[in-house]
Amino acid sequence: MARQLRIEFSGAYYHVFSRGNNRADIFCSDKDRRVFLDLLEILSERFAVEIHAYVLMDNHYHLLLRTLEPNLSNAMQWLGTTYTLHCNTKNSKTGHLFQGRFKSILVENDQYLTQLSFYIHRNPLRAGLAGSLAEFKWSSYHYYVYPKTPPPWLKTDLILSMFHSHKDPHKAYRSAIKQYAEQQSSPVEEIRHGFIYGSEKFADFIKDRYLAPQQQDTDLPHLNRVLRSEAPDSLAEKLADLLNCDIQDFKNRARLAGQDRDKRDVMIYALWETSRYSNPKIGELVGLSYSAVSKRIHDARSKVKSSGENRVKQIYEELMTRIKI
């Protein structure tokens, strides 16, 4: 079966969803769902992705997001792989968790985003998981209909701005989603060409801009338009120069301490942040195992995000003033 067509560009909006292999559950507990939400936070930071709505069902999820860089495939591959590793480790299993690759629909603008947010938030009712939307806590619905402060990675302002003329946008959204439930049609019935949700004009623009014959890959109909300002290997060397360290030295020395270790960890974290390097590739560069790289990333991220002062955070902030990754 041919892979689903992917069109990626900066600022693109997508409805993304993925189902468990053989329709099996991908969320077996509240802890699983909390882990997935934690991963959405990391995905938002690492891949410059805005998340506008979500729902976590039993055997699938839906996301409404915007990619600030043309990197949807990289971002979702990381999310799927990382969450699968969590589940397999927890259950002492191996193999696939999800049924094939994720599905994505390109969305035109905020008007269509609003309709899709209604569709996404009503999933628990259609599946019979809750008697009312308010009963189901694993979606972004509550942040739209109540004046609750959303987590920093969840962007509700854009869709709520569609109700700015109302005194209470949250109440207006709640009323609108009820009206949506009475409609006969569904957004999934209005998808154009199998992957575009928007007007005919928008669909024609996408076809002309991205599906011209000279741009199609006859072997693999997958348009990956990720643009890089610098080759990955060049970036690694550039980071090493800015940190005044030697990558080869990291590989030659079995143990590092003090500032050498902190510089290595900052470099590992910076490379990971760019999304251009997998953990195994970073491990090859610095002479660490996959699990050791994962631990260094986790520790460095905790220190960089810490409200207190520490040497890793200081080195990282100095690096960021000198290079934009």
User: Could you tell me the domains of the chain?
Assistant: 12-215 (3.30.70.1290), 232-320 (1.10.1750.10)
Predicted confidence at residue 219, as pLDDT, reads 33
B/e letters for 38-48, b = 16+ CB within 10 Å, e = fewer, are ebbebbbebbb
Residue 61 near residue 40 (C-beta atoms within 8 A): no
Q: Is the pLDDT of residue 313 over 60?
A: yes
The two tokens of residue 136 are 């189901």
Residue 50 near residue 13 (C-beta atoms within 8 A): no
pLDDT per position as a tens digit, 181-228: 776 566 766 788 778 998 888 888 888 887 754 444 433 333 233 223
Under the banding of pLDDT at 50, 70 and 90, the label for residue 323 is low
Q: What share of the chain is helix, strand, coil (3-state, %, to 5)?
A: 55, 10, 35
Q: What is the spatial distance between Cα 171 and Cα 147, in angstroms, rounded to a whole number?
A: 9
Q: Is the pLDDT of residue 66 over 90?
A: yes
Query: What Rg do the C-alpha atoms of the chain give, in angstroms?
Result: 22
Is the pLDDT higher at 155 or at 217? 155
The residue written with tokens 């690096």 in the block is 319
B/e letters for 131-164, b = 16+ CB within 10 Å, e = fewer, are eebeebebbbbbbbbeeeeeeebbbbebbbebbe
Q: What is the spatial distance between Cα 174 and Cα 271, in angstroms, rounded to a whole number?
A: 42
Beta bridge partners of 197: 107
Q: Which segments of the chain does DSSP mark as H helices, in order?
A: 30-47, 72-91, 110-121, 123-126, 141-145, 157-160, 169-181, 200-210, 232-243, 247-252, 258-273, 279-286, 290-305, 311-320
Q: What is the spatial distance between Cα 78 and Cα 191, in angstroms, rounded to a whole number?
A: 26
Predicted confidence at residue 107, as pLDDT, reads 94
Taking residues 131-160, report their average pLDDT: 95
Q: What single DSSP character describes residue 149? A: P
Predicted confidence at residue 113, as pLDDT, reads 93
In sequence order, the 6+-apart residues with CB closer than 8 A to the CB of 9 are 70, 210, 225
Predicted confidence at residue 289, as pLDDT, reads 86
Q: How far is CA 81 from CA 84, 161, 182, 277, 279, in A?
A: 5, 34, 38, 14, 12
In sequence order, the 6+-apart residues with CB closer than 8 A to the CB of 229 are none
- Give residue 287's region: left, alpha or beta (phi > 0; psi -120 to 50): left
Asked which of 163-172, 268-277, 299-308 is least confident by mean pLDDT, the reply is: 268-277
Residue 293 near residue 283 (C-beta atoms within 8 A): yes
pLDDT per position as a tens digit, 273-311: 877 778 888 888 888 888 888 889 989 999 988 888 899
Predicted confidence at residue 214, as pLDDT, reads 44
pLDDT per position as a tens digit, 1-43: 445 668 899 999 999 999 998 889 999 999 999 999 999 999 9
3-state DSSP call for residue 70? coil
Predicted confidence at residue 226, as pLDDT, reads 27
Predicted confidence at residue 233, as pLDDT, reads 64
The residue written with tokens 């008697």 in the block is 131
Asked which of 30-44, 122-136, 153-167, 223-237 is least confident by mean pLDDT, the reply is: 223-237
Of the ranges 87-91, 146-150, 239-243, the best mean pLDDT one: 146-150
Task: Provide the whole-model pTM.
Answer: 0.75
Is the pLDDT higher at 257 or at 37? 37
Average pLDDT, the chain: 85
Predicted confidence at residue 74, as pLDDT, reads 92
Predicted confidence at residue 188, as pLDDT, reads 65
